[in-house]
Amino acid sequence: MNKATTLGELKKNGYVSKSIKDEIRQNLIKKIEAKENAFPGILGYEDSVIPDTERALLSRHNILFLGLRGQAKTRMARQMIQLLDEFIPVVSGSEINDDPFQPISRYALDLIEAHGDDTPISWLHRSQRYGEKLATPDVSVADLIGDIDPIKAANLKLSFADERVLHYGIIPRSNRCIFVINELPDLQARIQVSLFNILEEGDLQIRGFKLRLPLDVMFVFTANPEDYTNRGSIVTPLKDRIESQILTHYPKLMETSLAITEQEANIYEEQLDKVNISDLVKRLIEQVAFEARGSEFVDKKSGVSARLTIAAYENAVSSAERRAIINKEKKTQVWISDLIGIVPSITGKIELVYEGEQEGPYQVAFNLLEKSIRTIFGQYFPNPDTIKKKRGKDTIADENPYKSITRWFDSGNHLDTFFETRDEDKIQLLYKVDGLHALVKKYFKGANETETALLMEFVLHGLSAHSLISKKVLDGKIEFKDLMGSMLNMGSKSFSEEDLDDNDFN
């Protein structure tokens, strides 16, 4: 259809007006029939949130996304823009995107009455048909609905009783648009009340004006269940007027979580050229979030955002990149020791309960990393816990694949791996441990030299996580020793609070 410039041309072209909810419904039907994904890039919701959302849109409902932080609630709302027509006609100069065939503002009504079919028409792109407001305690009715503008009244020399002195708020200006209110419970109850009529009858009230503006708005609200107790609540009559409440959730599978992090992490091409990050390291990072969501030290009501693993992934790559720059290496990989660099990504993304505060955020972060290593280790190598249970029974030496490694440490040997060690030097250090290379080759025959070295380091961290050897994080290095000797040394020394560092864990 050619873009009409006047109301008369629009009529000749046979344009038919439709509400925004009908518009979304029709375009969604087309996508479903064509087997197109209406929400590309939203992973893990294929069998839950997306079908629920599509049903709500087909029913022409306003929607409330209810879920913990970092569950793509706002992103789901923003993607609804793609379900709008590419362009719609509006009365030129209208503040509230008046439909030329169904004008509602005084400005549009007067303009059409004065010019008739010569009324100028503009075209609004779907990218301009989205409004978003973060609910904060200082949001007022005037912000959302509107108020009298005394400056406009003075400039136009109009009485305050004239409708033309009104300044429309963000909701009327979102007429024929998708409008999102994030963190709805943070909105004061009296402000929520102002939304009643708009949701039910499409009307709004500004001061004492007898307005009846049948707004055409698709409302999407987001809320966190934590807000219901900590900061505020959604008033019951408003919640009753929101037709569909959709529960969001965190990724249920490791593979989904990996895909989300890979998709969202902001890694430069030059970083990828210099730094290789293995599937093992990626899984360790993702497992940290899974461990945090089940940790007794982390507040489950607050949740653990997917942003944790995204930020951790970026920090892991940057840790390896920084080391390579210091050592003037052209290529490197993310070692297990580089994961110490993701601790700041963890501490800022988790809310601790009282017991967690007592432990301290850094200690909790290190514990989560250790639990991640412990969980993933059993997926790559025999579970040391199973071997421990066999002690005292009639077992043969071959049943303990770690015996030569632990014996090397028991003989008084120790291994210090520095954070800024060159890759070549680290590999040479790892080869000093008896049986370490042979163990990795036994279970990963096809691994190349780089992969083998990473797995060798992983074995040391895994044995430490299962309390078969000792590990201590010190300034600039990680120290591996035999477990018993380390415990005896600790027993022979009295520690003050100043001696105990958040970074020390066995």
In this prediction, residue 162 carries a pLDDT of 66
Same domain, 206 and 57: yes
> Of 361, 262, 360, nearest to 316 (Cα)?
262
pLDDT at residue 168 in the model: 82
CATH number at residue 275: 1.10.8.80
In a domain, 127, yes or no: yes
Q: Quick one: average pLDDT of 138-146? A: 84
Q: Which one, of 356, 279, 360, 350, lies nearest residue 311 by Cα?
A: 350
Give residue 250's pLDDT: 94
pLDDT band at 498 (very low <50, low <70, confident <90, very high): very low
Domains in the chain, number: 3
On whether residue 146 sits in a domain, the answer given is no
Place of tokens 């390579």: 324
Structure confidence at residue 314 as a pLDDT band (50, 70, 90): very high
> Is the pLDDT reported for residue 1 higher than 80?
no
**What kind and span of H or E run contains 275?**
strand 275-276
Asked whether residue 269 falls in the same domain as residue 208, the answer is no
pLDDT of amino acid 496: 36
Residue 469 counted as domain residue: yes
99 and 202 together in one domain: yes
Q: How confident is the model at residue 53 (pLDDT cuts 50, 70, 90)?
A: very high
| Residue 233 structure tokens | 């609540």
Q: Do residues 49 and 134 share a domain?
A: yes
In a domain, 88, yes or no: yes
Tell whether 369 and 425 lie within a shared domain: no
Mean pLDDT of 301-330: 95
Q: What is the pLDDT of residue 493?
A: 41
pLDDT of residue 388: 67
Q: Euclidean distance between the first and final Cα of the chain, in Å?
A: 71
Q: Looking at 160-243, which runs of residues are DSSP E strands? A: 166-168, 178-182, 218-223
pLDDT band for 88, please (50, 70, 90 cuts).
very high
The answer on pLDDT for 144 being more than 60 is: yes
Residue scoring higher pLDDT (132 or 156): 132
Residue 243 structural domain: 7-139+174-247
Which helix (DSSP H) or strand (DSSP E) does residue 485 occupy?
helix 483-491
pLDDT of 489 > 70? The answer is no
Please state the rounded mean pLDDT for residues 327-350: 95
d(CA 84, CA 485): 68
Q: For the segment 5-31, what is each residue's pLDDT rounded down to a tens digit?
A: 999 999 999 999 999 999 999 999 999
Residue 380: pLDDT over 70? yes
**pLDDT band at 497; cut points 50, 70, 90:** very low
Q: Decide if 330 is inside a domain.
A: yes
Domain presence at residue 167: no
Residues 233 and 271 in one domain: no
Q: Tell me, what's the pLDDT at 447?
A: 94
| Least confident range of 58-62, 102-106, 276-280 | 102-106
Q: Confidence band (pLDDT; 50, 70, 90) for 232?
A: low
Q: Of 191, 212, 247, which closes a domain?
A: 247
422 and 397 part of one domain: yes
d(CA 116, CA 99): 14
Residue with more model confidence, 226 or 224: 224
Residue 151 counted as domain residue: no
Q: Tell whether the model's pLDDT for residue 148 goes beyond 80.
A: no
Structural contact between residues 372 and 309, judged by C-beta atoms closer than 8 angstroms? no
Name the residue with tokens 């823009």: 81
Let me know whether 182 and 113 are in one domain: yes
Averaged pLDDT score across all residues of the chain: 88
Alpha-helical runs (H) found in 332-448: 343-347, 354-359, 361-380, 384-389, 403-410, 423-431, 436-443
- Residue 104 pLDDT exceeds 70: yes
Q: Are 121 and 194 in the same domain? A: yes
Residues 372 and 404 in one domain: no
384-395 exposure pattern, b = at least 16 Cβ within 10 A, e = fewer: beebeeeeeeee
Say if CB 403 and CB 396 are below 8 A apart. no
pLDDT the model gives residue 219 = 94
Please compute the mean of the pLDDT values over residues 281-290 and round it to a whole number.
97
pLDDT, one tens digit per residue, over 110-133 is: 999 999 999 999 999 999 999 999
Assigned domain for 198 exists? yes
Residues 205, 313 share a domain:
no
Examine the fold and report which residue of 199, 221, 247 is the final residue of a domain before the chain moves on.
Answer: 247
Using pLDDT thresholds of 50, 70 and 90, give the confidence band for residue 195.
confident
Residues 300 and 354 in one domain: yes
- Percentage of residues in the chain with pLDDT exceeding 90? 71
Residue where a domain terminates, one of 247, 266, 298: 247
Q: What is the pLDDT of residue 501?
A: 43
Residues 169-189, mean pLDDT to the nearest whole number: 91
